[in-house]
């Protein structure tokens, strides 16, 4: 059956600065109109979990404002027409409640669940990393325990932050393992680097069952081998890809919540994403973009949008390869 390409505004006809920016100039639709789209890109503007730099609540807007520089064809997967292959929309933002992290998480879970219920694969834009836990809850409720493909400078598997309270940007992947919504045996954490709070900051993830690949190891493997390792680890499990922008070096991503000196460049990070294949994604997010720390060039926001577009390309490539619609909520 044929389908019309999404009516993204065409930047050769209408200058990019004309009109309100939505993700890649795609239609901006409410929950009542997301049905019929295969992928819903949506903002999750919460920084309630930020232990230090705050402002990621403005991440979705900043990402959108730079995403208008992106174009629909991806040359890294054979001139793939991403927006012609996939029906994608900008599904607005999840509600949040500033100052009330547990309440905020409930709303994020509900919004993600609504997108899934409408048949959309949810692609979230953070927000700090605490937003991923409610996303995972909603996606796992539909698909069962998830394989996690996690790019980040930090494991985010600490037990608690600040007086033992359970939720923050530093704890979601311990909680997810405890809750059984992620299957660590199918999961991989990539990019850890920098100084540690405790000698166990890395081993605590391994103890939970995750595979951990440090930045140095990931770069030594190279994109192709790393992609192979990911594919082997994930297998045919339903997978969730979460990309914390602090995975990338601060030179390429100064506008993040917890910058860690000495990471991969933007080119190295993109090459890793472009090499991924054979993953059955059922959800994804890109998080921790903080435009208040990003400088006038907004290079972090642009890279965030580019990474979101590469994740879309991976989903479209999978669809092209197997002729099946993405497993959003199907």
Exactly one of 1, 12, 32, 323 binds its own copies (CB under 8 A); which one? Answer: 12
Per-residue binding letters, 28-67, with its own copies (x by CB under 8 A): x--------------x-x-xxxxxx-xx-xx--x--xx--
- Residue 156: CA atoms inside 13 Å, Cβ hemisphere, count? 35
Segment near its own copies (CB under 8 A), from 114-122, 144-152, 192-200, 230-238? Answer: 192-200
Binding mask 195-224 for its own copies (x = CB under 8 A): xxxxx-xx-----------xx---------
> Segment 301-320, which members bind its own copies (CB under 8 A)?
302-303, 306, 309
Q: If binding is defined by CB under 8 A, does position 278 make contact with its own copies? A: no
**Chosen residue from 3, 7, 36, 73 binding its own copies by CB under 8 A:** 73
Pick the binder of its own copies from 194, 206, 217, 278 (CB under 8 A).
Answer: 194
How many CA within 13 A on the CB side of residue 111?
Answer: 27
DSSP letter (8 states) at residue 309: H
Taking the complex as a whole, the smallest distance from the CB of residue 253 to its own copies amounts, in Å, to 8
- Chain centroid to Cα 230, Å, comes to 16
Q: What stretch of H or E contains 43?
A: strand 39-44
CB within 8 A of 272, min separation 6: which ones? 151, 190, 218, 223, 226, 227, 264
Q: Is 220 helix (H, G, I), strand (E, B) or coil?
A: helix
191 strand-pairing partners: none
> Residue 194, Cα to own-chain centre: how many angstroms?
22
Contact region with its own copies (CB under 8 A), list: 116-124, 141-149, 231-239, 258-266: 258-266
- Which C-beta is closer to its own copies: that of 21 or that of 328? 21
């Amino acid at each position: 059956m044929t389908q019309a390409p999404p009516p993204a505004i065409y930047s050769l006809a209408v200058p990019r600065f004309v009109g309100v920016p939505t993700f890649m100039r795609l239609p901006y639709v409410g929950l009542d109109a997301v049905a019929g789209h295969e992928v819903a890109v949506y903002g999750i503007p919460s920084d309630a979990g930020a232990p230090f730099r705050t402002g990621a609540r403005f991440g979705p807007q900043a990402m959108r404002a730079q995403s208008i520089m992106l174009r629909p064809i991806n040359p890294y997967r054979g001139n793939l027409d991403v927006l012609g292959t996939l029906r994608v929309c900008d599904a607005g933002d999840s509600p949040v409640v500033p100052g009330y992290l547990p309440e905020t998480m409930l709303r994020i879970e509900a919004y993600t669940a609504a997108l899934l219920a409408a048949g959309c694969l949810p692609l979230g834009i953070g927000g700090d990393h605490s937003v991923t836990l409610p996303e995972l809850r909603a996606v796992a409720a539909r698909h069962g325990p998830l394989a996690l493909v996690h790019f980040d400078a930090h494991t985010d598997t600490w037990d608690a932050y600040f007086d033992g309270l359970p939720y923050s940007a530093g704890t979601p992947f311990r909680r997810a393992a405890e809750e059984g919504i992620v299957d660590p045996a199918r999961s991989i954490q990539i990019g850890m680097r920098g100084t540690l709070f405790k000698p166990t900051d890395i081993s605590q993830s391994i103890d939970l069952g995750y595979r951990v690949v440090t930045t140095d190891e990931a770069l030594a493997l190279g994109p192709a081998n790393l992609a192979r390792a990911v594919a082997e680890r994930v297998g045919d499990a339903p997978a969730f890809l979460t990309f914390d922008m602090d995975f990338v070096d601060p030179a390429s991503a100064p506008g993040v919540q917890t910058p860690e000196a000495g990471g991969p460049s933007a080119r190295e990070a993109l090459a890793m994403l472009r090499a991924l294949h054979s993953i059955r994604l059922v959800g994804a997010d890109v998080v921790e973009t903080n435009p208040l720390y990003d400088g006038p060039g907004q290079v972090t926001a642009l890279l965030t949008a580019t990474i979101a577009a590469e994740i879309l390309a991976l989903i479209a490539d999978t669809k092209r390869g197997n002729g099946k619609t993405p497993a959003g909520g199907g």
